[in-house]
């Protein structure tokens, strides 16, 4: 190996590519490699609900620079000298040898990549509570491009008439708006007494009244206890109070859990709230490894 530093970044959504680009600005000679499990890179997740809702129709806007250049591996290589390997999952970190093992998900090819510095930006996975029937067709989250494509297809096909959004947080409310604009009747179900739990009650009530003014239904202090199916497809939900609501689509938006399996298996210290502990330089318990996009305990 040359004496150029090798910086490996695991995760290629928001935080990973940002960290890689910053590393390039700090060191123009380093070899920088991004390993990204998904097929896409640097996705604009905040725009997903707006694409689903039809605020814009060009899917590529979620994946491109403001000047319209797709942020794909070629872009990263040409513009920043960064190698981005998509559909490549990091499966193990060997801290003693300072290597990352990864697998190309299409070909199954396994590779071991050495690092001088490692940046973990593996993000979070949406929670899917263990409710009976959760694997029925018609139940989704809104977290990935694949979820976004699924919901956008539902919008374009115009077959779904009724949907449930489980969770009245930010993503739940954005999803409610998007599906409402798709002409679908929505019921938002929230366990707590109010939507957007971080707001004062009075503010949350204003939001609730606005949602209801759009003919959406809001049910608070209630939760889904069962998904009801017909021939493998979602047909409705049963609530804690026994009410059954028919629906063809349910979007679960009940928070996320940090992806720490890889780090935990490598012996990196995990904090009390399930994120990795980092210091003020975002280094974790192994000083060769940085973490981004995670909750700091
Ligand atoms: C619908 C929606 C709307 C949002 N709106 C806003 C908003 O308006 N404002 C705001 O501030 N935030 C918003 N967010 C939150 C914001 O998108 C996230 O905070 C941000 O995406 C986190 O970035 P990240 O890179 O840390 O993690 P993630 O986006 O979770 O990305 C992690 C990436 O790592 C990859 N990965 C995981 N494990 C591995 C592995 N072992 N090997 C290789 N790759 C791996 C995954 O495939 C994934 O692409 C929104 C999120 C969503 C879903």
Residue 282: the pLDDT is 86
Q: What is the largest CA-CA distance in the chain?
A: 66
294: pLDDT strictly greater than 60: no
Residue 275: the pLDDT is 73
- Comparing CA positions, the residue from 276, 258, 279, 280 lying closest to residue 268 is 276
pTM here is 0.94
pLDDT tens digit sequence for 130-188: 999 999 999 999 999 999 999 999 999 999 999 999 999 999 999 999 999 999 999 99
**Tokens (6 digits) for 259:** 């992806």
Report the pLDDT averaged over residues 15-31. 96
**Tokens (6 digits) for 119:** 């940046």
Answer yes or no: is the C-beta of 13 below 6 A from any ligand 1 atom: yes
Q: Which of 48, 123, 147 to mutate to test the pocket of ligand 1 (most atoms within 8 A of CB)?
A: 123
Answer yes or no: is the C-beta of 49 below 6 A from any ligand 1 atom: yes
Report the pLDDT averaged over residues 285-297. 73
Gap between the Cα atoms of 227 and 234, Å rounded? 7
273: pLDDT strictly greater than 80: no
């Amino acid at each position: 190996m040359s004496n150029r530093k090798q910086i490996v970044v695991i995760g290629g959504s928001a935080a990973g590519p940002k960290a890689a680009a910053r590393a390039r600005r700090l060191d123009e000679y380093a070899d920088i490699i991004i390993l990204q499990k998904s097929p896409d890179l640097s996705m604009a997740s905040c725009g997903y609900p707006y694409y689903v809702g039809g605020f814009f129709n060009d899917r590529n806007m979620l994946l491109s620079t403001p000047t319209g250049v797709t942020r794909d591996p070629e872009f990263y290589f040409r513009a920043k000298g960064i190698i981005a390997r998509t559909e490549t999952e990091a499966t193990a970190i060997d801290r003693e040898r300072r290597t990352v093992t990864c697998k190309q998900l299409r070909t199954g090819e396994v590779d071991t990549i050495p690092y001088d510095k490692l940046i973990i930006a593996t993000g979070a996975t949406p929670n899917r509570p263990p409710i009976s029937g959760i694997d029925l067709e018609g139940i989704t989250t809104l977290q990935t491009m694949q979820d976004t494509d699924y919901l956008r297809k539902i919008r374009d096909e115009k077959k779904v008439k009724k949907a449930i959004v489980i969770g009245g947080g930010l993503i739940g409310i954005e999803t409610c708006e998007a599906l409402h604009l798709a002409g679908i009747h929505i019921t938002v179900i929230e366990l707590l007494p109010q939507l957007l739990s971080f707001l004062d009650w009075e503010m949350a009530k204003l939001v609730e009244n606005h949602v209801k003014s759009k003919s959406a239904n809001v049910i608070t202090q209630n939760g889904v206890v069962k998904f009801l199916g017909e021939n493998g497809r979602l047909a409705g939900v049963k609530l804690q109070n026994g009410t059954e609501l028919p629906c063809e689509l349910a979007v679960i938006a009940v928070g996320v859990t940090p992806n720490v399996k890889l780090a935990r298996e490598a012996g990196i210290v995990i904090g009390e709230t399930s994120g990795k502990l980092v210091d003020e330089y975002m280094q974790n318990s192994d000083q060769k490894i940085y973490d981004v996009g995670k909750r700091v305990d």
